[in-house]
Amino acid sequence: MTNQSHYEILKEIVKIYLPEDVSVSDITEESNFTSELNINSANLVDIILDVEDAFGITLENQDMDQMKTVKDALRIVEQKLVE
Amino acid sequence: MSLQHILAKLPYSKPFLYVDSLIEINENYAEGSYSFKEDEFFYQGHFTGHPVTPGVILTECCAQIGLVALGIFLLEKEGASLKNVKIAMSSSQMEFYLPVYPLELVTVKSEKVYFRFQKLKCEVKMYNSLGKLVCKGSLSGMLKKETP
């Protein structure tokens, strides 16, 4: 079960970096950041930095490597928050 | 790590190398200079009969010194091998104030904003030989260690 408010916060962040041909309504938990939402690797870094600020956590290189989908990002956020 | 060593590692060559010398590089800052030659290829057409350095070339010069030279320094400091590094500019936002003509010497000063997850973001400024601001802006690039 995904924390709904965390999902909403993440969606608000991702929204900023979506290219013009992808709309907010295209975002689902299963969305792959690069192949489906067309977010490039530089903007994925921006998303990660915003996520760090929004949740007050610090992410490592291996976290980014694991962050393929929205669901992955939420899982990593939950993990970091309990640590 | 010597400045000469970093200069030699820059992955550019004529006619697209826009760094003559590196003046200073540390973890947060890079400074270098370039003097535009009279026969740079782009002066033939920019503009016809009236050579002025194109903004994209000034941006490139800022990026080679401010992003790539600094990025090489930071990667080497991390102990990374530079053999499999892929470099790409990911965003540029520049403002231009003064023209740069053939034979002018420019100095680029770059302040690191962050280098995280292989993305380097810098605030760059370019000055002419009179110390006047030529252009400034924000540049980002990815310095990706290729996974085998």
- From CA B55, how far away is CA B61, in angstroms rounded? 10
Check residue A2 and give its pLDDT: 67
The residues of A whose Cβ lies within 8 A of any Cβ of B are 40-46, 48-49, 61, 64
Cross-sheet strand order for the sheet of B85-96: B21-26, B29-35, B105-116, B119-127, B133-145, B85-96
pLDDT tens string B107-143: 999 999 999 999 999 999 999 999 999 999 999 999 9
B107 neighbors B33 (Cβ within 8 angstroms): yes
Judge: A48–B90 Cβ closer than 8 Å, yes or no: no
Judge: A45–B91 Cβ closer than 8 Å, yes or no: no
pLDDT tens string B1-51: 789 999 999 999 999 999 999 999 999 999 999 999 999 999 999 999 999
Q: What domains lie within chain A, and their CATH numbers?
A: 4-82 (1.10.1200.10)
pLDDT tens string A29-68: 999 999 999 999 999 999 999 999 999 999 998 999 999 9
Find chain A residues with C-beta within 8 A of B116's C-beta. Answer: 45, 48-49
Judge: B90–A61 Cβ closer than 8 Å, yes or no: no
Q: Which residue of A has its CA nearest to B89?
A: A42
Q: What domains lie within chain B, and their CATH numbers?
A: 3-145 (3.10.129.10)
Weakest mean pLDDT among A14-23, A57-66, B63-72, B78-87: B78-87
Q: Please report which confidence band the pLDDT of residue B74 belongs to, taking 50, 70 and 90 as the band edges.
A: very high
Of the candidates A41, A37, A40, the one whose C-alpha atom is nearest the C-alpha of residue A11 is A37
pTM of the model: 0.91
Size of interface A-B (CB pairs under 8 A): 26
Q: Which residue of A has its CA nearest to B119?
A: A42
Check residue A76 and give its pLDDT: 94
What integer is the mean pLDDT of B79-105? Answer: 91
Which comes out higher in pLDDT, residue B145 or B148? B145
pLDDT tens string B49-59: 999 999 999 99
